[in-house]
Chains A and B, each alone.
Chain A
Amino acid sequence: DTGVSQDPRHKITKRGQNVTFRCDPISEHNRLYWYRQTLGQGPEFLTYFQNEAQLEKSRLLSDRFSAERPKGSFSTLEIQHTEQGDSAMYLCASSLSGLASDDTQYFGPGTRLTVL
């Protein structure tokens, strides 16, 4: 078990550019979550997948954000036309399932995005 991995760890981009982040969950985990965290705040839910199905998406997530998990394994999060307000740490987490006792989420190291 190598844990949750994310790539890249850091990304600096100019306003208006598109960025894509990748997350590889723990191999037997069915659920995969994306969060955004800014300084001094707790992680803010963005979206989650049960296998390849995207089951919920935060109302705070604008149309510029899209996520996929095409084969039920790794996931990508894309942000189009980035804005300075998108600067944050983007966290990925995975869990075995959503049921009590199997719903513990394990986090990757995060991708820190800076939009200039």
Chain B
Amino acid sequence: QKEVEQNSGPLSVPEGAIASLNCTYSDRVSQSFFWYRQYSGKSPELIMSIYSNGDKEDGRFTAQLNKASQYVSLLIRDSQPSDSATYLCAVNDVYGQNFVFGPGTRLSVLP
């Protein structure tokens, strides 16, 4: 059973701080990694995808991937109250046949 694990939270950070979200996965043949944001009652929206080890930056968001440790993280710089949402980590295998979501981490950014 392929698994994706995240801390459920809630993770609370003050406005302007860096929020750090973590995700581990069990399947070593995982090839593609995604972070989605989901507001309450809404569907997931893509923040970022990452395929290679290292860091990938997009605006205030940085994804970090370490395949050896089977670990992917998302950093949100200068956190805003509008970032308060559930963040879902998703992993796909090299065959594109096992797209698995973690349970999500609820982030609360306090004004």
Which segment, of A11-19, A66-74, A77-85, A107-115, faces chain B? A107-115
- Per the 8 Å Cβ criterion, residues 29-71 of A in contact with B are 31, 33, 35, 40-45, 48, 55-56
Number of A-B contacts (CB under 8 A): 63
Q: In the complex, what residues of B have CB within 8 A of residue A35's CB?
A: 101
- Per the 8 Å Cβ criterion, residues 22-70 of B in contact with A are 31-32, 34, 36, 42-46, 49, 51
Q: A43-B101, A104-B34 are in contact. Are A98 and B88 (CB under 8 A)?
A: no
Interface presence of A91 (CB below 8 A): yes
Q: Within the complex, what minimum Cβ distance (angstroms) separates B40 from chain A?
A: 9
How many A residues have CB within 8 A of the partner chain? Answer: 27
Q: Mark A20-36, 1 if CB is under 8 A from B, else 0.
A: 00000000000101010
- Give the CA-CA distance A31 to B42 in the complex, in Å: 22
Q: Within the complex, what minimum Cβ distance (angstroms) separates A30 from chain B?
A: 11
- Give the CA-CA distance A5 to B40 in the complex, in Å: 19
Q: A43-B88, A100-B92 are in contact. List 13 more A-B contacts (CB 8 A).
A: A41-B104, A42-B88, A97-B96, A98-B92, A100-B32, A100-B96, A101-B51, A103-B96, A104-B32, A104-B46, A107-B44, A110-B42, A110-B43
Can you sample 27 A-B contacts with CB below 8 Å? A40-B8, A40-B103, A40-B104, A41-B103, A41-B104, A42-B4, A42-B88, A42-B102, A42-B103, A43-B44, A45-B100, A45-B101, A48-B99, A97-B96, A98-B92, A98-B96, A101-B32, A101-B51, A103-B92, A104-B32, A105-B34, A105-B46, A105-B99, A108-B43, A109-B43, A110-B42, A110-B43
